[in-house]
Chains A and B, each alone.
Chain A
Amino acid sequence: MHPAGAGGQQPPDLEALIAEWRAGVEQQRAVDDADADELEGHLRDQMADLGSAGLAPDEAFLIAVKRMGSVDALSTEFAREHADRLWKRLAPGPSAGGQPSARRDFWTMIGFACAAALAVKVPEAFGLDLFDDGRFYARNVGLFALVPLAGFFAWRRGLPAARAIRMLVPPFAAAAVVVNAYPFEDGSDTEALAALHLPIALWLLVGVAYAGGDWRSDHKRMDYVRFTGEWFIYYVLIALGGGVLAGFTAGAFDVIGIDADDFVSSWVVACGALGAVVVASWLVEAKQSVVENMAPVLTKLFTPLFAAMLLAFLGAMVWTGRGIDFDRDVLIFFNLLLALVLGLHLYAVSARDHRAPHDVSDRLQFVLVASALVADALVLVAMVDRISDFGLTPNRVAALGENVVLLVNLAWSARLLLGFWRGRVTFASVERWQTAYTPVYLIWATVVVGVFPPLFGFA
């Protein structure tokens, strides 16, 4: 690719000078490799002409470089003509980079995505209808999507087959047995809870494959947290596109008098939603080093806004003296709020350089977490008074348990953030607390899926 020297007439240090100049030009994002070839060719032609006019090679080099113009000005001119090059390009697809490994990755991803998309259709062959047997699909959707994803990561990380089988097959098999063998009552709460918590548990298990089996490592866990945030964003984007596709499919067939609604929901939406789980994961992996992570950017944007919202809420409560109007949804609402605050905290942590000194955004983190804790404490106090009126249903126990899981995490995070603010602890310990806590989510989700149904008589 690179032009060869002009027959080795020039001394080696001149070649080094030319290479250095070329490197400076290539660093400009608007100048690509072929342009650098063209410019270097020009430089060498100019030098050859100046040389034959009697100039010493190093003088010829200096004059040729000067005539070429400053690299900055050159870069500006190139940027004006090639503005598109200033946008980092991610060209996913079989030809990405033209490297055989990227091609193999792509086709393997397609294979696992198809496996996920078809997994949801297999039960139909055994007479289970997507709509009439919705309960079956709700319980198993996590398995359909995440078994192929775990397989994809096991393959991608080069996990030896024996190790992958030993680590991943028992928990996934156990999950499949539990959700399908338990004699759930029709429309029972425990079944809905199991369906809701199984994907969470399995997602954390996929982390084992993501980490290449090295799930004890703090770094790998934090990587999985980062991956999860990016995956979520990509999945939402793909889902938006999928929604448009589904709408147009139905609309187009409607025009010619064919009712495609059933086809769209049972094939396009169902298969697309599951296949996209793998596709989004692959996209996150492929663009990891190309594009800035989005989740921390969104976190930075929304942390002050949520902190302000929570402070306003607390202020309004104190100012008006209103109590909490407690009904069954309040706890769930506050669980979601705590989860969101935890997410904001987590992604701020994930993007922070833990060696950087304490700054104003860390204080903001503390304000956010502390105000969420106060708000949640008020809700819990209001609830304790009345818990006997309500009785312990599976839903309430699950909501309460989740609240405790989140509350403990945030309370200790607030303590650590305060310590960091005062310079008593390092930021690394804030980060380590989050990575160390991840198994708690797995344990809790597993308890809800595996222990709750027998505990509450499958009601």
Chain B
Amino acid sequence: MPKDLVAASATPLVLGILSEGESYGYAILKRVNQLSGGELEWTDGMLYPLLHRLERLGYAEASWKVPAGSRTRRRKYYRITESGRQALAEQRRQWTVITGALRDLWHEASPAPSPALVGS
């Protein structure tokens, strides 16, 4: 998967996952893996600067919590805000346009472009 495609889809993916409910870094990453069937390979560390950016833009709110259970380690949980939801809606609209256009194009075109077409 090309790097810029991964980068471009990262924000709507994370916002979308957060719209399902409050979550933390590692869980978000696992959800991305699950959604993409392991096809979207993120470098784990890169998720955090992105989360911090969403926090700075006001799309997400963060709070440190000690999760219930045996662990004593605190975790940073992220929660989507109202402006985060608006941003997500806008991203969704844009992505729908792009995926829709590509789908239409590939439905009309022949299954695979012929060498002659590529050459012209």
Contact = CB atoms under 8 A, between A and B. Distances in A.
B48 A38 contact: yes
Question: Which of B25, B43, B49 counts the most chain A CB atoms within 10 A?
Answer: B49
Contacts of B71: 6-7
B72 interface: yes
B31 interface: no
B85 interface: no
Interface in A24-41: 34-35, 37-39, 41
Contact of A82 (B43, B45, B52): B52
B25 A74 contact: no
B73 A41 contact: yes
A228 interface: no
Contacts of B29: 42
Nearest to B29: A42
A78 B43 contact: no
A80 B25 CA distance: 19
A34 B74 CA distance: 10
A81 B43 contact: no
The size bracket of the interface on B is 20 to 34
B53 A81 contact: yes
B26 interface: yes
A44 B24 CA distance: 13
A42 B42 CA distance: 14
A78 B51 CA distance: 11
Interface string B76-88: 1000000000000
Contacts of A64: 44
B93 interface: no
Contacts of A78: 48-49, 52
A46 B45 CA distance: 12
A68 B49 contact: no
B44 A38 contact: no
B70 interface: yes
Contact of B73 (A44, A73, A82): A44
B56 interface: yes
B44 A68 contact: yes
Residue from the set B56, B73, B74 with the largest chain A CB neighbour count within 10 Å: B73
Nearest to A79: B49
A333 B89 CA distance: 72
Given A80-B49, A82-B52, A42 B44 contact: yes
Contact of A7 (B26, B50, B53, B70): B70
A15 interface: no
B26 A35 contact: no
B44 A41 contact: no
A322 interface: no
Interface in B18-53: 24-26, 29, 43-46, 48-50, 52-53
A38 B45 contact: no
A34 B46 CA distance: 16
A44 B75 CA distance: 11
A73 B43 contact: yes
Contacts of A127: none
A74 B73 CA distance: 23
Contact of A34 (B24, B43, B76): B76
A67 B52 contact: no
A81 B25 contact: no
Contacts of A68: 43-45
A41 B75 contact: yes
A4 interface: yes
B106 to A, nearest CB: 33
B29 to A, nearest CB: 8
List the 7 shortest-distance A-B pairs measured between CB atoms, nearest first: A69-B43, A3-B73, A45-B26, A74-B45, A69-B45, A81-B49, A77-B49
10 contacts: A3-B74, A7-B70, A35-B48, A38-B76, A64-B44, A67-B44, A74-B45, A78-B49, A80-B49, A81-B56
